[in-house]
Structure 1
Amino acid sequence: MGQLFGTDGIRGRANTYPMTCDLAMKTGQALGILTQKSSNQCVVIGRDTRISGQMLESALAAGIACAGVDVLTAGVIPTPGVAYLSRAIESCGAGIMISASHNPYYDNGIKIFQKGGMKLSDDQEADLEKIILGPPIDLPEKIGTIASANDAQTRYAQFLLKKFNFQKKGRKLKLVIDTANGAASFCAPAIFTPDMFDVSFIHNQPSGTNINKDCGSQHTKDLSDHVKQVDADAGLAFDGDADRLIAVDETGQQITGDTLLAILSKFAKQTGKLGNNIVVSTVMSNVGFGNAMAQLGIKHEITGVGDRKVLARMKETGAVIGGEDSGHMIFLDEHTTGDGVLSALKLIEVLLETHMPLSQLAKVMTVYPQVLINVDVDASRPDFTKMPMVANAIKEVESQLGRQGRVLVRYSGTQPLLRVMVEGSEESLTRQCCEKICQAIRKSL
């Protein structure tokens, strides 16, 4: 990671470096210069519902336009919608999504897609960062225009729906959808329509400050309650920028991202659509996921945390399905990036084709108890492996768990947190082990 770019773009508290209007404008200028050099004519910008979104959109658009490149603003739209537009619009040289994903409303971020809808490579981010942090940019005489892409949500919805034919499946699923007061709040009703589904929406009234607040993919209690109240077939929860999906089955039980990935991978294999018989997941995936892939006879590739690393391994191996336990799933034969709405539609397809309840489908995988605790750290990110107390605690826990569990300690790529994850065969023991490591970290820091 560089000075600005983390595992998923530039991120921080809005109005605080690096998420300031000044840096956003410089980022726009830098991207405009690179876009102009590649002879592309415009950059598309989307955002989620955070109160700071329009402010940063204006700064980015101004920077791009003063670098001589046109801007198309897509308004509130999911991150994968921006990725789609950046390859669907022929003159588009890049796409920008303004979002901090699942973070609270006071954070924001800048995610950049290159022409064709892929996120920037490490080298491309490094090139962009040099321009942003370098001397003042020599601006051209030409000035770009700024216009609204009024059909952006419609185009994205049509792109997704043309892949499915739910109206001919013979029955309507009863669904509850939680849009996290975020980017999917406005486009979801155009995708999950009454003619195809018996659907109700919750947390779809964004105020600018309620995105992800006690709702969405990280907080599914409300969704679970609604599913049970209306006797729905399933509940579907997105995060703030709708690139993640977490589900709730008909009993109100939350289904993990790993379990969703296992369900969709099994169906893809059964229908002959699992490229190279490979699925990619990260080191954060549950032990049970690897066991499930082995039982299904599917090759399992493991990579580092982050959708870019998942995507890179997918391209290396020819896999078409990959994802993270967070619910971030990539279907490379359908889209260039993780898409929570696409994942939801694919899950619906499995429910309709198999005529099995989600609770039954979820039995494809046994989820080992997993405890994840975040420890606040300062920006210096000290090397915890060189702290004797921490190293000893990790060693003791690993010895105690043996082959029935594992430990993973890593810094967050987007927040000042040290993440401690422990898996084991029994919940209380797993939590005790995780707390033991966290306590050693707190004392050492």
Structure 2
Amino acid sequence: METMEKVVYLDNAATTACAPEVLAVMTQALSGACGNPSSHYSVGYEAKEFVDTGRAQVAKAINASPAEIFFTGCGSEADNWAVKGTAFTKARQNKKHLITSAFEHHAIMHSMAALERMGFEVTYIKPTPEGYIRPEDVEAAIRPDTALVSIMMANNEIGTIQPIKEIAEIAHKHGVWMHTDAVQAVGTIPVDVKELGVDMLSMSAHKFNGPKGMGALYCRKGIWPQNLIDGGSQEARHRAGTENVAGIAGMGKALEMAVAHLDERMAHEKELRDYVIDRVLKNIPEARLNGGLEHRLPGNANISFPGLEGETILLDLDMHNICASTGSACNSDSLDPSHVLLSIGVPEEIGHGSMRFTFGPQNTMEEAKYLCDVLEEVIPRRRAMSCMWLQGQNTARQFSLKGEN
């Protein structure tokens, strides 16, 4: 089998390339709008116009008001602000209990852990084996002193989409603020903050062909988590620091483009995803899809290959010019099995052999077929050399395609 000459990039959940139109508007902002957006003269006003346009574009894409969009340095900062800022605000009302899920992104998990060290209490809702948070489990966890419910809109590793609207309704019924980490969702599936009913929502530009180092937090009017960054009066006095003018301009343009072609993009990515899942599960023994298919990001395929280490598969794929991942890029230096997979009941030894393939609008059916060709050659060859596979086939068979343990 010949190696494809071009790089086949199948790690779009980790990051995406800047679109040419995004680079163009960022270049314009960097080369022309040299003033400080807070300055009261012409070149300052020119920079402010880029900021105002970007804010309006982001707001329109999620059906919010521009005054409800606050720019941050990344999605992780937006998550930290929503979680910690709410905790500090509500602690003044003696509400020091927070609810989240057991398979959130580390920006949420580590923020919650930091708050626990400060004396806050956190309840971690366990997802179902298919990778969904049940609204009734959230309601059962709410207490009189609950300050916040934070549940991600779509899981970054297994791609399952959560019932955020139902969870938000439950939170509000009990007078609790609702936040969702929508970093994997915004620009990938329809996101309407009015329909969802959330109080806060985090997003990140580099997930939808915008620049890295650029995020935003939506805060519904009247919801004010305590500031994390104090200083000047930028972002309506809620997030100090001179604005990243080019980053904001790029984020706005990228999101405007993403939502303009969303239906077409979703259909294309789903076609590639389903082809890979169907073919791999049919042709590679004991391969298992992680997470349910019914409510899933259109471009996400997370598959376990028992008997192998994900890092080994990753290196083999790289030798064939295929870029994929074993899970979250934010945890790529860790040898621990994915906390997401463990939370849905995947055994540790099988979790180690899981791969995440995430498709974007630039990927083709030719690339999807090439991935399957490579996997069908690599997996059997590596298993033939794997003591772990020979010793662990019984475990793999017990943990079947149906997810039976």
Same fold (TM over 0.5): no
More strand by share: 1
TM-score normalised by L of structure 2: 0.28
More helix by share: 2
Q: With a CA cutoff of 8 Å and minimum separation of 6, indicate the structure with the bigger relative contact order.
A: 2
